């Protein structure tokens, strides 16, 4: 059963400008430690940052809180399954909200093309 859905689209150049202006301080605000290690040596770091930004915005929307009730970028990590699919990993306030909603699984799709990155997220619970 669907508990919530969220989508977000972001202009990659906007995220790149923020990253160029604020550097690692910006990246550490958006990315978890695991994601920071993925950023190092990435062929297109601005695209990775933009997709993570969009993903976390979409997750916050699916939770129904946005970035309130203590939910923050730091509460969310976009990892990968063994087959390479993106997966949602939560901690802190985001994990608590998801648990309170009964969320048992997440589906997430990430994409980027030319100037934009987009994320679509579905939060589900078992019947």
Q: What is the mean pLDDT of each run of 10 residues along the chain (127 residues)?
A: 98 96 93 91 93 98 95 96 96 98 98 97 96
As a whole number of angstroms, the distance between CA 74 and CA 90 comes to 9
pLDDT of 41? 85
CATH superfamily of the 2-124 domain: 4'-phosphopantetheinyl transferase domain (3.90.470.20)
Domain boundaries, the chain: 2-124
**DSSP 8-state assignment for residue 55:** H
Q: Coil, helix or strand for 111?
A: strand
pTM: 0.94
Show the tokens assigned to 4: 């919530």
Cβ burial of 75 (10 Å; 0-12, 13-18, 19+) is: buried
CB 61 within 8 A of CB 8: yes
């Amino acid at each position: 059963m669907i508990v919530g859905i969220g989508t977000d689209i972001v202009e990659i150049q906007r995220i790149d400008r923020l990253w160029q202006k604020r550097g690692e301080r910006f990246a550490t605000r958006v990315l978890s430690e695991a994601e920071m290690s993925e950023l190092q040596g990435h062929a297109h770091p601005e695209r990775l940052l933009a997709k993570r930004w969009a993903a976390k915005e979409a997750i916050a929307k699916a939770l129904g809180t946005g970035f309130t009730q203590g939910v923050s970028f730091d509460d969310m990590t976009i990892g990968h399954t063994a087959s390479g699919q993106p997966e949602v990993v939560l901690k802190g306030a985001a994990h608590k909200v998801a648990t309170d909603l009964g969320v048992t699984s997440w589906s997430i799709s990430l994409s980027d093309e030319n100037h934009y990155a987009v994320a679509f997220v579905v939060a589900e619970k078992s019947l």
